[in-house]
Each structure stands twice: as structure tokens, then as C-alpha cells.
């Protein structure tokens, strides 16, 4: 599974939306489910999946699939 597929699936599951609703260009502005609670769900899923901690400054910046993918390359 590619990183893009992995992140897309993780975000879709965290938000309770179909994977087809999430693409590389998707941002928090594109999905009503990606509100503050949805963002926390995504972050918690990332931390669980990758066994990492995400600091608050980084967490605030991870508001799109593209940014999540870029961040994934740094961990």
C-alpha cells in the first residue's frame, strides 16, 4: 500500500467518509467532517498507526492530505 493510499484510508476511516471522498488535493476545508473533532481523530489515528507523537505546532499544520503526506516522509 502506498503512503497516499495509507493516508487516504486512515483519514476516511477517522472521519467516517468513503475513501473516494478523500484525495491528494483534499483539505480540511473540503469536508464538513474534517472539523476540530475530526482533526483530532485523524491525529490520534496517525499516532496509533505510526507509533509516534505529534507536537501541537505540527498538529495544527496538518490540515490537508498533501501536508500529511509531506509530514509522513519526515517521520
The string of pLDDT tens digits covering residues 43-66 is 999 999 999 999 999 999 999 999
State residue 75's pLDDT score.
87
3-72 CATH choice from 3.40.190.10, 1.10.3720.10, 3.40.50.1820, 1.10.1200.10: 1.10.1200.10
Q: Would you list the domain boundaries of the chain?
A: 3-72
- pLDDT value at residue 6: 93
Report pLDDT digits (tens) over 12-42.
999 999 999 999 999 999 999 999 999 999 9
pTM above 0.85, yes or no: yes
How would you write 17-69 as a 3-class SS string?
A: CCHHHCCCCCECCCCCCCCHHHHHHHHHHHHHHHCCCCCHHHHHHCCEHHHHH
1 pLDDT higher than 90: no
Amino acid at each position: 500500500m502506498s503512503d497516499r493510499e495509507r493516508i487516504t484510508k486512515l483519514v476516511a476511516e477517522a472521519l467516517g467518509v468513503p475513501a473516494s471522498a478523500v484525495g491528494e488535493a483534499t483539505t480540511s476545508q473540503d469536508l464538513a467532517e474534517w472539523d476540530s473533532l475530526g482533526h483530532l481523530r485523524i491525529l490520534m489515528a496517525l499516532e496509533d498507526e505510526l507509533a509516534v507523537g505529534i507536537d501541537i505546532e505540527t498538529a495544527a499544520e496538518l490540515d490537508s492530505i498533501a501536508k500529511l503526506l509531506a509530514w509522513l516522509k519526515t517521520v
